[in-house]
Amino acid sequence: MATNIDKDGVVNCKLSHVTYSTLMIFLRKLQPITKLSARIMSGRSLSLSPPLPAAKRRKLDDDWLTPDDFKNGVFLAPMVRSGSLPTRLFALKHGATLVWGPEIVDKAILHSTRDVDPITGVISYNGVSRAIFSTHPVEKPFLIYQIGSSDPDLAVQAAKTVMQDVSGVDLNCGCPKPFSTHSGMGAALLTNPDLLCAILTALRKEMPPHITVTAKIRLLPSQEDTLKLVERIVNTGISALTVHCRTRNMREKDKAVIERLREIVDFVRGMGRGIAVVENGDCKDWEDAKRVRQTTGADSVMIARGAESNPSCFSPTPLVDVEKTFIPSYLHLSQYIRNHFSLTKYCVNQFTGKRVEVTKTESQCIRQALSKAKDFESLKELMGSRSGEEELRDIIKAIQENSPRKHRMILEPDSSTLTDTETAEDLSLSTPEGTQNPEPPGPGAPFLPNDIEKLAAMIPARDNTTPTPISARPQALTLT
């Protein structure tokens, strides 16, 4: 090794080729020890299992969504609580083309801290006492992050906060719940089209081109007003538009008026921008999605209640006997990725499906055990011996081997055209009995914007945080 001192007094060292090679070998051997020390110092438990498989490296452009990726698909709708990370992962495993996360209010995510779990790979945006939003790298190419906002600048800041972990952002323009509308967000934007379009324009202008910008709206009472609003929204440069085929004032048991969507689809196609129109409302599963597309002509279909009941509904052959074929797996995965138990329990209590081998009595016993459970440990007998790590490995493998974006619903060329004897009413789907609309109108839904202040005064004081009631994250799990 040769050394010299330059005119500024800086010591320069030149390593011989042999010395340099020896140093590199030493550093490579030291690296695993350094990582192990960091793991120990962080207080995390050590796993003797091999690491989870990393996502296959692809060209960057392959991960970018385009308007065509929103066509011929069946999507998981954004749902508060029910759209949590475990549900999204299982939906992708069973064939969902794309998945939407639950609506997150812009201000909530801005004050969060991004944390990566070195064992599971889960990425959490944590607030003071809870996780605001959680995701996993394997879902990134298929994940749309939904924003609740009534301010263009805040919407852009919120989108930039999470853009490294998602493929697109969606503006919620249809939620009729008071927590959204009293702040001018959600369905309140339908009667303030200038603000709605300003937010979308700002998002499209400020976000990098590989992050798609989309919007989800509800129908306006007047079809003419709906078309005018749709035209303005499409002209903001969005990649897709989802239409929940209910108006803001329609109640949870009201049948979605999906027959109104065909005129909207034809109108958007006539604009010549290649924008996908996605139908949402009264679709239960993959087979129902075919009927909805035939009725409406929509490019894709979004499922909410059907997925809330059975996340495998995106498969042409959804799981039956979910008490034994699905619920144990869901519990194992939720425990492993540290999904809060109360949120997990809420989702599991919604799961239903066709029973083939499970008797009604067995189902009732399982439901009773779930209702009494206070934590994952109290459900060990129901969960069985399979581990959450195995569940996550299977999901990653399934997604890598059969990309959800290749799971397309290609209809026959003339299948979107009604015959002379068919009408939209014949093919429309009614709201399944005994289910709840994932976006039920709250008591303030009928009010117009000039009543917002009156409505806000009726609601207890609260800050703009995520509607998902997730409490503090549990302690780290110890793998044995």
- Annotated active-site residue 175? The verdict is yes
Closest CA to 64 of 152, 162, 163, 202: 163
Q: Are 176 and 187 in contact (CB under 8 A)?
A: yes
* Greatest CA separation for the chain: 93
From CA 360, how far away is CA 100, in angstroms rounded?
33
Per-residue tokens: 470: 């997730």
Radius of gyration of the chain (CA): 25
Three-state secondary-structure class, residue 5: strand
Closest CA to 76 of 354, 278, 356, 326: 278
**Beta-strand relationship, 123-126 and 113-116:** antiparallel
Per-residue tokens: 461: 């004081």
3-state SS of 164-202?
Answer: HHCCEEEEEECCCCHHHHCCCCHHHHHHCHHHHHHHHHH
From CA 156, how far away is CA 189, in angstroms rounded?
17
Say how many CA atoms lie within 13 Å of 140 toward its Cβ. Answer: 22
CA distances 232 to 145, 198, 229, 241, Å, are 22, 10, 5, 12
352's CB contacts (< 8 A; 6+ apart) are: 309, 310, 322
Give buried/exposed letters for 440-471 (b at 16+ CB in 10 A, else e): ebbebbebeeeebeebeeeeeeeebbbbbebe
In degrees rounded to 5, what are phi and psi of residue 426?
Answer: -65, -40
Closest CA to 95 of 413, 408, 419: 408
Question: Which residue among 175, 245, 283, 347 is the active-site one?
Answer: 175
CA distances 106 to 152, 153, 252, 386, 455, Å, are 10, 10, 26, 38, 21
CA distances 161 to 114, 120, 449, 467, 477, Å, are 9, 22, 29, 18, 28
As annotated, the active-site residues are 175
